[in-house]
Amino acid sequence: MPPPLLQLSDIALTFGGHPLLDGVELSVSAGERVCLVGRNGSGKSTLLKIAAGLIEPDRGERFVQPGASIRYLPQEPDFAGHATTLAYVEAGLGASDDAHQARYMLQQLGLTGEEDPAHLSGGEARRAALARVLAPQPDILLLDEPTNHLDLTTIEWLESTLAAQRGALVIISHDRRFLETLSRVTVWLDRGHARRVDIGFKEFEAWRDQQLAEEEVQQHKLDRKIVREEHWVRYGVTARRKRNVRRMAELGALRQQRREHRRVTGKAVIEAAQGEKSGALVAEAKAVSKAYGERPIVDQFSTRVMRGDRIGIVGPNGSGKTTLVSVLTGVQPPDGGEVRLGANVAMASLEQDRDSLDPNWTLAEALTGGRGDQVAVGNGHKHVVGYMKDFLFQPEQARTPLRVLSGGERGRLMLARALAKPSNLLVLDEPTNDLDLETLDVLEEMLSEYAGTVILISHDRDFLDRVVHAVIVPEGSGKWAEYAGGYSDMLTQRGSDLSGRRTTKPAPKEKAPSSEAPAVSAAKRKLSFKDKHALETLPKQMATLHDEAKKLNAALADPGLYGRDAKAFADTSARLAAVQGELAAAEERWLELEILREELDRA
């Protein structure tokens, strides 16, 4: 194995009297793909800042190979002192870096370089920060939540760009699909310690669950041993006190070991306050349209949302996802068409803008509305400290100002506020931003058990695949299309991703003649028996494939198919993709032969 470019040894750091990191090791060699995982608050971002040289640990050493270049992407970039995004990106270049890369990366990420950093949206700020760290093409990229605030098109571009990079990567992300695609090594931060396993994130969760199961067995054995020792203390220590001081010390060590084991942060308890049952029809849109000036956002879109539906809305930033949801739920009136809401619909929504709350409020004030120490949850009340614990906040954080909360803590706060309201329709705008993977699992479980209807705007492909039953995507010029299943099912049916890149491969073509064969002009060439036979049979074959594709599309148009039989839906989707590939190949082959036949006839 090559020597590491970056080495952290015996790193220790204490926050607020509690050890956050204790003897942590991290090494990164040339070209390695490392993902750093762990619960919110486990120290992932702090360790990455230590690796970047921005924080000094209480103990330990940081070594960087001489000449190795490192670039760090923070969750919240600082644009102070830069008049334009181009100036900000150029400031990240080294003396030997290509200056043209700054503007090139900005253009690749949809920015001109002339933007004022003070007026950037969250997505634009993230893209400018990415351009700054990508432009120098460093030996090591340290990326803290790189996909936050990015739309799916940009995430997929970033994935392919990072996959093609020669430098090493260390990534913190809540996006499972992103980690599965890019990581080859996983470093797990757990209770102050780090464990490295030479497997990517795709295999990590199964490995971690096995480790935790084995730990539970060991914990059970430890508990039984403590019971035996305590029994001995009660009934056997008096007569042999002096010669059994060592055994008493061992019992103390066992108890400390158990305390250390149980120091792990508890699991979030995410529950939505259930409202009364809505009618079977939640919302119906008939040929609705909405425009801002000359720009159509929604054009003649129709759909029906039924009780229990889980609908995902995906698309590039600025495509109108939030506007579409606002029209469908009656928050905004359409310019044309009709929206009808069903009976007894009670909506709770999670806004994407987490800075809408007063930053000087305390956590308790944000949850209680500044009134007493009780949170209105559903039709009852719960003490604010107890409700905070459900969302993994510590009691001492009750008086913490919102301005000092981390991104993950702000995300959990917004969820806590939204889910306290009684509802039978949940509208969640980017709920997964900044949440750790285990909290995402709990949120997924809550949504699966929620008795009402869910409309979800998200860029998290894995989360969409796990939660939704249908996906609505923009097709351009205000047109929207609805596909049954999750995000991956949508790609299969559509045949392309949101940027238009093909996602299903056509059937392989017949091999071209060998380059060593003598060239034959069209005038001298004759159609072979095989070519003539193909010209005669391909039209019938294309008609058969076209009819089959039509039937498969009709089957997939049934909104209830996915819910009734997910396997049948997956098989039908796979067959449709194969048929579309065969049809494309047949049409191309027939066209080639028909052109050749016409040339020969003219000759």
Q: Report the binding-site residues.
A: 38-45, 315-322
Report the C-alpha gap between 214 and 10 in whole angstroms. Answer: 26
* Contact indicator for 49, 20 with CB cutoff of 8 Å: no
* Contact indicator for 303, 478 with CB cutoff of 8 Å: no
Q: Using DSSP bridges, classify how beta strands 33-37 and 185-190 pair: parallel, antiparallel or unpaired.
A: parallel
Q: Which amino acid is at 125?
A: A
Q: Catalogue the E-assigned strands of 274-405.
A: 281-292, 295-306, 310-313, 336-341, 347-350, 374-377, 380-383
Report the C-alpha gap between 546 and 590 in whole angstroms. Answer: 15
The H or E element containing residue 484 is strand 479-484
Q: Is 23 left (phi over 0), alpha (psi -120 to 50) or beta?
A: left
Report the C-alpha gap between 517 and 476 in whole angstroms. Answer: 47
* Helices 437-449 + 407-419 axis angle, to 10: 10
* Helices 487-494 + 566-602 axis angle, to 10: 20
Q: What is the SS3 assignment for 27?
A: strand
Q: Which amino acid is at 361?
A: W
Dig out the tokens for 391 from the structure: 């969302």
Cα 402-152-183 angle, rounded to 5 deg? 85
| Binding-site positions for ATP | 38-45, 315-322
Report the C-alpha gap between 197 and 303 in whole angstroms. Answer: 47
Q: Which of 339, 337, 340, 341 is nearest to 299 (CA)?
A: 337
Report the C-alpha gap between 7 and 50 in whole angstroms. Answer: 11
Residue with tokens 């942590």: 24
* Contact indicator for 415, 391 with CB cutoff of 8 Å: yes
Residue with tokens 């702090």: 46
Residue 217, judged by CB atoms within 10 A of its CB (0-12, 13-18, 19+), counts as: exposed
